[in-house]
């Protein structure tokens, strides 16, 4: 028999929850401050700092840079990740495991280490700052795409593709007509994760940005070191809001995935 | 939807397939005539599904070839083979409606839209699913999904229809109804069908001919009557139907032959022994079907030396199972064998466990086969294979 948890477990769990969420909440509250300094609790409320954010070309410029880089690297990571996952699903297990380990390594190796390597490699290759960051973020986003698409493929009844082949579809058509639509929710989730991982990435970006090209997290980091005005809080809140929105979207996609036919069929 | 009878002639020549550590198929050969319903029957791992997948083009054989209507298919990719297949779990496309599922092979062949609609409607009518076109597969029952899978495999009028244990997921009642329906539909359309099952009753009920697989080999090919009444090996005899098996050695006795098994000496058919190519002195197995035996009180059959056409054995009733129309008696014989006797309920004696009885059968009903079998456990217990 399962007992309902004791009261102290609720208290402990609640305390941990508050501890985890509090910093974000505090920042969001401070972003609506009417004061000129970052302080909590704020002396009053207003939208000054959001106005400041949206009227500053530095903030808006770096936000747009971040957006462009995130979209581009998410697209690249998703396309490559989908191809990789499809290829690995049909490969010999030993080969697939080794390859997967290599592809997942950016998620395990400390980003600082990877970033230093990228800094020197891309510089030597003569890649522009923009494309260096796109390449770096593609690499960092790839594991998300591979993992989510692989999971979708695993849940797919392998006979579906054989059936498509049997009914007259060549390898390409059976992929685009059958496999692709069924794993699309997984691909979308992978794309969202890849986007978010680029959107708030700061370590690699710090190495690869130049004064003329900054991403939003880099600008925030630099502003935090020089001035301490609440525009940073407004920027943080916007960053958090977009991320939160995308993650909720991802969860929704997962729930409505039609690809989980395997357990039904058995 | 009728088709010329010359389409659908399949020849499988000496197919072999080996996986890293196991041999899946050894030199399997089979000739299937156009319009024939042929079942590949065997226990799991016997090579029947491997054969089907090689014919479909999903697996490449190590050696041998597949020839359909005179064309060697061995190097043809699956989507160009023009063979329909019904999968074990139906493999319906979950994101497409029933209509789109059935239309899929026609769309792949780039037929005109009006023609596709006409054919899909006709085929859904054939499987009695008219009006279900807008549903999704998951909104259908198992039996309905089965019909959609059948319609999808038939709609493009393939040269050959493959079915891989298509009724395995259905309950018994529905399975029997679907067996009849599949036979009717296939007969109506006139397709050649290659049907895989491990269910011997299903094979007997549906097929024109049965190919019995064992250990990657085709052990016997024949009509249901052939494989049931004239099995060529102990495996075929015990895998198909129920039976009582006596293992022993043939001995000459006057003008006839007897099988000496344990403490028993049973007369066997000389013609049967000749058919199995077993001479006096050689080891042999005698297989008797439960419906060929009858039970009498002791001495009811007459003592040894009574009728020369009757084989008799004494024993004690161990168990008696009521099965509705018949009663199944398990009888422990002298000498340690166990016999399985099925008697019609009407006027049947026998019955109570512990009773001394004598069983007897016409010696021509006893099937003589070679005793060695590569992997059949040689137990004297009758093979129990229900459904």
Greater confidence (B380 vs A45) lies with A45
Last residue in a domain, options B164, B195, B229 = B229
B37-46, B221-230, B278-287: lowest mean pLDDT where? B278-287
Residues of A in contact with B82 (CB under 8 A): 168
- Give chain B's end-to-end CA distance (angstroms, integer): 34
Question: Above pLDDT 90, what percent of chain B?
Answer: 45
Q: With contact defined as beta carbons under 8 Å apart, do B157 and B190 qualify? A: no
Within a 10 A sphere around the Cβ of A125, how many other Cβ atoms?
Answer: 10
Token pair, residue B158, equals: 């393939």
Contact assignment for A258 to B94 by CB distance below 8 Å: yes
Comparing CA positions, the residue from B55, B91, B145, B142 lying closest to residue A164 is B91
pLDDT for residue B123:
93
The whole-number pLDDT of residue A1 equals 60
> Whole-number mean pLDDT of chain A?
87
Interface test with B, best of A92, A93, A152, A168 (most B CBs within 10 A): A168
Q: Are residues B126 and B186 in the same domain?
A: yes
Give CA–CA dist B97/B136, Å, rounded.
Answer: 5
pLDDT band at B345 (very low <50, low <70, confident <90, very high): low
Chain A (142-171) residues lying within 8 Å, Cβ to Cβ, of chain B: 157, 159-160, 162-170
Q: Is A264 on the interface with B (CB under 8 A)?
A: yes
Cβ–Cβ < 8 Å for B371, B274: no
Q: Are residues B26 and B116 in the same domain?
A: yes
Checking if the pLDDT of B376 tops 50, the result is no
Q: Which of B297, B378, B294, B380 is nearest to B336 (CA)?
A: B380
Is residue A264 very low, low, confident or very high in pLDDT (cuts 50, 70, 90)? Answer: very low
Q: At residue B211, what are phi and psi to the nearest 5 degrees? A: -110, 115
Contact A265 B152 (CB under 8 A): no
Mean pLDDT of A206-231: 85
For B24-85, the DSSP string reads EEEEEEEEE-TT-EEEEE-STTSSHHHHHHHHHTSS--SEEEEEETTEE-TTS-GGGS-EEE
Q: Does A229 touch chain B (CB under 8 A)?
A: no
User: How far is residue B327's CA from residue B43's CA, in Å, rounded to a whole number?
Assistant: 27
In a domain, B147, yes or no: yes
User: Token digits for B286?
Assistant: 């005698």
- pLDDT score at B357: 83
- The answer, yes or no, to whether residue B60 has pLDDT greater than 60, is yes
Q: How confident is the model at residue B51 (pLDDT cuts 50, 70, 90)?
A: very high
Q: Give the domain-ending residue among B169, B200, B229.
A: B229
Tokens encoding B200: 């011997």
The answer to whether the CB of A178 falls within 8 A of the CB of A169 is yes
Output the average pLDDT for chain B.
Answer: 85
pLDDT at A259: 47
User: Is the model's pLDDT at B383 over the cut of 50?
Assistant: no
User: What pLDDT band is residue B306 in, cutting at 50, 70 and 90?
Assistant: low
Contact B248, B369 (CB under 8 A): no
Q: How confident is the model at residue A200 (pLDDT cuts 50, 70, 90)?
A: confident
Instruction: Answer for the pair B194, B208: CB distance below 8 angstroms, yes or no.
Output: no
Residue bearing tokens 């954010």:
A53
Residue B262's pLDDT is 77
The answer on pLDDT for B93 being more than 80 is yes
Beta bridge partners of B321: B328
Confidence label for A51 from pLDDT (cuts 50, 70 and 90): confident
CATH number at residue B271: 2.40.50.100
How many CB atoms sit inside 10 A of residue B213's CB?
Answer: 27
Residue B377 neighbours by CB under 8 Å, 6+ apart: none
Q: Give the span between the Cα atoms of A163 and B342, in whole angstroms.
A: 44
CA distance A47 to A30: 11
Residue B2 covered by a domain: no
CA distance B214 to B220: 9
Query: Are B164 and B273 in the same domain?
Result: no
The C-alpha atoms of residue A188 and residue A255 are separated, in whole angstroms, by 12
Contact call for residues B348 and B300 (beta carbons, < 8 A): no
Query: What is the per-residue DSSP string for B188-200?
Result: HHT--EEEEES-H
Residues of B in contact with A169 (CB under 8 A): 79, 104, 108
Report d(CA B108, CA A236) in Å as an integer. Answer: 52
Report CB contact under 8 Å: B93, A164.
yes
Contacts of B156 in chain A (CB under 8 A): 167-168
Q: What are the tens digits of pLDDT across the range B124-145?
A: 998 899 989 999 999 999 889 9
Best of B78, B81, B83, B109 to disrupt the A interface (most A CBs within 10 Å) is B78
In this structure, the answer to whether residues B185 and B333 fall within a common structural domain is: no
| Range(s) of the domain holding residue B288 | 242-369
* Region of poorest pLDDT, from A32-36, A155-159, B56-60, B111-115: A32-36
| Among candidate residues B195, B229, B263, the one where a domain is terminated | B229
Distance, C-alpha B314 to centroid of its chain: 33
pLDDT at A261 > cutoff 70? no
Q: Looking at the structure, tell me whether residues B186 and B60 fall in a common domain.
A: yes
pLDDT at A83 over 90: yes
pLDDT over 70 percentage in chain A:
95
How far apart CA B84 and CA B150 sit, in angstroms, is 9
* Average pLDDT for B321-334: 81
- pLDDT tier at B36 (50, 70, 90 boundaries)? very high
- Determine the pLDDT at residue A4: 74
- Residue B386 forms part of a structural domain: no
Among B246, B288, B233, B273, smallest CA distance to B378 is for B246
Ranking A58-62, A130-134, B216-220, B276-280 by mean pLDDT, the lowest is B276-280
Q: Where is B163: in which H helix or E strand?
A: strand B160-164
Q: Is residue B235 part of a domain?
A: no
Three-class SS state of B247: strand
B224: CATH: 3.40.50.300
- Whether B146 is in a domain gets the answer yes
Considering the domain boundaries, does residue B374 fall inside one?
no
Q: Indicate the helix (H) or strand (E) that contains B219.
A: strand B217-222
Residue B154 confidence class, pLDDT cut points 50, 70, 90: very high
Q: Answer whether A92 touches B (CB < 8 Å).
A: no
Q: Contact B91/A168, CB-based, under 8 Å?
A: no
CB-CB neighbors (< 8 A) of A261 in chain B: 94
Residues from chain A contacting residue B104 (CB–CB below 8 Å): 164, 167, 169, 177
Task: Quote the tokens at residue B138.
Answer: 């998951």
Shared domain check, B171 and B53: yes
The pLDDT confidence band at residue A256, using thresholds 50, 70 and 90, is: low
Question: Using H for helix, E for strand and C for coil, what is the string for B357-380?
Answer: EEEEEEHHHCEEECCCCCCCCCCC
Neighbours of B340 (CB within 10 A): 24
For residue A37, what pLDDT is reported? 77
pLDDT at position B269 is: 87
Q: Does B90 touch chain A (CB under 8 A)?
A: yes
- Confidence at residue A53, expressed as pLDDT on a 0 to 100 scale: 87
Please, which pLDDT band fits residue A85 given cuts at 50, 70 and 90?
Answer: very high
Three-state SS string over chain A comes to CCCCCCHHHHHHHHHHHHHHHHHHHHHHHHHCECCCCCCCCCCCECCHHHHHHHHCHHHHHHHHHHHHHHHHHHHHHHHHHHHHHHHHHCCCHHHHHHHHHHHHHHHCCCHHHHHHHHHHHHHHHCCCHHHHHHHHHHHHHHHHHHHHHHHHHHCCCHHHHHHHHHCCCCHHHHHHHHHHHHHHHHHHHHHHHHHHHHHCCCHHHHHHCECCECCHHHHHHHHHHHCCCCHHHHHHHHHHHHHHHHHHHHHHHHHCCCCCCHHHHC
CB-CB neighbors (< 8 A) of A163 in chain B: 85, 87, 91, 93
pLDDT score, position B387: 34
Residue B154 lies in a domain: yes
- Give the count of domains, chain B: 2
Clarify whether residues B101 and B205 are in a common domain.
yes
d(C-alpha B243, C-alpha B339), whole Å: 8
Return the residue of B nearest to A171 by Cα. B79
Residues of B in contact with A266 (CB under 8 A): 89
DSSP 8-state symbol, B138: G
Task: Specify whether B224 is located in the same domain as B287.
Answer: no
Q: Once rounded to an integer, what is the mean pLDDT over residues B214-224? A: 93
Same domain, B45 and B82: yes
Give the pLDDT confidence of A156-193 residue by residue, as tens digits: 998 999 999 999 999 999 999 999 999 998 999 999 99
The answer on B307 and B173 residing in a single domain is no
Q: B234 in a domain, yes or no?
A: no
| Shortest CA gap A254–chain B (Å) | 15
Q: For residue B111, which phi and psi values (nearest 5 degrees)?
A: -75, 155
Q: With 90 as the cut, is the pLDDT of residue A255 above it?
A: no
B133 touches A at CB < 8 Å: no
Contact flag A166-B78 (C-beta cutoff 8 Å): yes
What's the rounded mean pLDDT across residues A56-69? 91
Report the gap between the CA of A169 and the closest CA in chain B (Å): 6
Q: How confident is the model at residue B83 (pLDDT cuts 50, 70, 90)?
A: very high
Query: Comparing A24-38, B51-65, B207-221, B223-237, which segment has the lowest mean pLDDT?
Result: A24-38
Q: Residues with Cβ < 8 Å from B103, sequence gap 6 or more?
A: B116, B117, B120, B155
Q: What is the pLDDT of residue A265?
A: 38
Question: Which range among A75-84, A145-154, B17-26, B347-356 shows the weakest confidence by mean pLDDT?
Answer: B347-356
What CA–CA distance (Å, rounded) separates A29 from A32?
6
Q: What's residue B351's pLDDT?
A: 61
Q: Give yes or no for B119 touching A (CB within 8 A).
A: no
End-to-end CA distance of chain A: 30
Cα diameter, chain A = 71
Chain B contact for A178, CB < 8 A?
yes
Are B214 and B52 in contact by the 8 Å Cβ rule? The answer is: no
Q: Does B194 reach chain A within 8 Å, measured CB to CB?
A: no
Q: Are residues B219 and B261 in the same domain?
A: no
Whether B184 and B289 map to the same domain: the answer is no
Q: What's the pLDDT at B349?
A: 55
């Amino acid at each position: 028999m399962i007992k309902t948890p004791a009261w102290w477990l609720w208290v402990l769990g609640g305390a941990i929850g508050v501890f985890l969420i509090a910093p974000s909440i505090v920042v969001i509250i401070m972003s609506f401050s009417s004061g000129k300094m970052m302080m909590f609790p704020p002396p009053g409320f207003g939208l000054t700092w959001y106005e400041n954010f949206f009227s500053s070309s530095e903030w808006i410029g770096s936000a747009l840079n971040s957006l462009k880089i995130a979209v581009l690297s998410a697209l690249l990571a998703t396309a490559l990740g989908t191809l990789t996952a499809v290829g690995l699903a049909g490969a010999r297990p030993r080969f697939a495991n080794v390859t997967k380990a290599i592809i997942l390594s950016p998620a395990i190796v400390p980003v600082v280490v990877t970033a230093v390597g990228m800094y020197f490699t891309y510089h030597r290759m003569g890649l522009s700052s923009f494309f260096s960051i796109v390449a770096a973020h593609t690499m960092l986003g790839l594991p998300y795409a591979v993992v989510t698409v692989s999971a979708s493929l695993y849940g797919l009844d392998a006979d579906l593709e054989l059936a498509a082949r049997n009914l007259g579809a060549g390898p390409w058509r059976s992929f685009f007509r059958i496999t692709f639509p069924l794993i699309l929710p997984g691909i979308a989730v992978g794309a969202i994760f890849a986007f978010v991982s680029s959107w708030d990435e700061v370590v690699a970006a710090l190495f690869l940005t130049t004064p003329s090209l900054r991403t939003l997290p880099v600008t925030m980091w630099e502003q935090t070191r020089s001035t301490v005005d609440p525009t940073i809080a407004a920027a943080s809140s916007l960053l958090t809001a977009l991320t939160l929105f995308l993650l909720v979207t991802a969860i929704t996609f997962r729930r409505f995935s039609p690809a989980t036919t395997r357990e039904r069929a058995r | 939807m009728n088709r010329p009878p010359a389409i659908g002639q399949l020849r499988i020549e000496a197919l072999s397939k080996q996986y890293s550590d196991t041999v899946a198929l050894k030199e399997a050969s089979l000739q299937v005539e156009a319009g024939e319903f042929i079942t590949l029957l065997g226990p799991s791992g016997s090579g029947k599904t491997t054969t089907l997948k090689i014919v479909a083009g999903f697996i490449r054989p190590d050696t041998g070839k597949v020839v359909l209507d005179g064309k060697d298919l061995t190097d043809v990719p699956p989507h160009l083979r023009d063979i329909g297949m019904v999968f074990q779990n139906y493999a319906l496309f979950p994101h497409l409606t029933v209509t789109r599922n059935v239309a899929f092979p026609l769309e792949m062949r780039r037929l005109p839209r009006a023609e596709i609609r006409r054919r899909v409607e006709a085929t859904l009518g054939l499987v009695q699913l008219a009006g279900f076109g807008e549903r999704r597969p998951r909104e259908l029952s198992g039996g309905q999904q089965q019909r959609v899978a059948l319609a999808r495999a038939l709609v493009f009028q393939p040269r050959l229809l493959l079915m891989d244990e298509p009724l395995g997921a259905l309950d018994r009642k529905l399975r029997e109804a679907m067996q009849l329906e599949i036979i009717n539909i296939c007969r109506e359309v006139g397709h050649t069908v290659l049907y895989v099952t491990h269910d011997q009753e299903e094979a007997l009920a549906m097929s024109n001919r049965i190919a019995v697989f064992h250990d990657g080999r085709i052990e016997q090919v024949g009509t249901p009557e052939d494989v049931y009444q004239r099995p060529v090996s102990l495996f075929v005899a015990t895998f198909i139907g129920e039976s009582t098996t006596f293992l022993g050695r043939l001995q000459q006795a006057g003008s006839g032959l007897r099988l000496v098994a344990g403490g028993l000496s049973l007369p066997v058919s000389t013609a049967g022994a000749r058919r199995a190519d077993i001479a006096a002195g050689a080891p042999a197995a005698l297989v008797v079907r439960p419906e060929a035996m009858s039970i009498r009180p002791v001495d009811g059959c007459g003592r040894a030396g009574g009728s020369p056409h009757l084989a008799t054995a004494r024993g004690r009733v161990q168990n008696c199972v009521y099965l509705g129309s018949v009663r199944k008696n398990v009888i422990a014989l002298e000498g340690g064998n166990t016999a399985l006797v099925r008697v019609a309920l009407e006027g049947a004696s026998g019955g109570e466990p512990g009773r001394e009885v004598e069983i007897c059968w016409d010696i021509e009903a006893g099937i003589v086969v070679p005793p060695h079998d590569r992997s059949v456990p040689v137990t004297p217990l009758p093979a129990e294979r229900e459904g």
